[in-house]
Structure 1
Amino acid sequence: MKKAILSIIFLSLGVSTLFAQNEFPSKVWHKGNIYTTDGKVYGGEIKYDLENNVVQLQDQTVDTFSATNVTNFELFDEVYGGVRKFFSLPYSMGSDYATPIFFEVLTQGDELALLCREYVATDSRGMGGYGMMGGYGMNPFYGPQSMMGYKLAFKYYFLKNGEIKQYNLKKKDLFEMLPGHDEALSLFMRKNRLDYDKRGDLLRITAYYNELN
């Protein structure tokens, strides 16, 4: 639980840098490592593209790796001030055939893991606030982030017993995804004022659930 809380604190430290970058995290080069399926490790500047499930490495040249030949990659996100880890896992997106795609691992335990895939969505609220200035409204690890009429959004998944299931951000379904401790989870959420549809809160809830098991 302490590790999960520390991760949230580290990620929150980069808010001031976030305003200065004026870029979504997938548009920025980060220092990191790529681990390929043939056992090799490549280090340098990394840029990821979850929509196309590729990760690029910039050293003397720019090389592109797909999720099919990468086991995982990790990077130090200077925007948020923390280490982020992504794994290539088989998942079926609209078909019966599962193919490797990248998931960010937010927290994991012996019972289950909370996964995430970020994407840039149209901001239907309009271009108010920082959106008009090309800046950010909030740290996306806690809430919506807007820039020039777009925002950073997230899809969440739970990995349990080798199966990945998407979480639809409904409280009822959260307890179905995390069975067996409804009363303890409800008390924990009320005590810490946690929501069932926010990134940082979901991380804390899942980490606590893994402790209970």
Structure 2
Amino acid sequence: MYKHVFLTGPPGVGKTTLVKKACETLAGSGEILDGFYTEEVRERGRRVGFDVVTLSGNRGRLSRVGDSSTHSAGRQYRVGQYAVDLLSFENLVLPLFRNVGVAAVSGGKRSVLVVDEIGKMELFSQQFVRAVKQALEGNGCSILGTIPIPRGKLMAVVEEVRSSSDVKVFTVTKDNRDVILPCVVAAVQECLKAGAP
């Protein structure tokens, strides 16, 4: 039986849109959700970076094009043209992992932790990596997340997620993205039932 659900597929195929729609459906059926998704930041029609947005509406910077001010302890983290703002990311995202565990213990009901995504930018944070691993191994929540398709150098945590017997992975394509939502929602609900006390 699965404990977590992840979506994978090429960039821009609609993974985040599917996650948002699944969250709306799950919240509408009374499930407890917390977590974050990533969103493009555009200026004059051009993508200039990414922000992290929590389900409660808080927003923080994840990366910007060529921004030399986004470094941590003198080290700059970069993915292609994007400089990653590790401090901003960690300040917004790490408390979500702690909160979801507390909510589950106090409410006695498993909750859904949305993690969109586990990708190159996010994996610069060792604290994030540890938090993801603990959430995957723990019983306090089911994760609804996204991971990139394998390309180039494999990312250890992403491959752990992909190969875990506890994880159901859906591959999102242009052909199925408009019809796969009920399957994703049903899989998350099954995970919650399977882990219920």
The answer to whether the superposition gives a TM-score over 0.5 is no
Normalised to the residue count of structure 2, the TM-score between the two structures is 0.28
- Scaled by the length of structure 1, the TM-score of the pair is 0.27
Question: Whose helix proportion is higher, 1 or 2?
Answer: 2
Larger strand share, 1 or 2: 1
- The higher radius of gyration belongs to 1
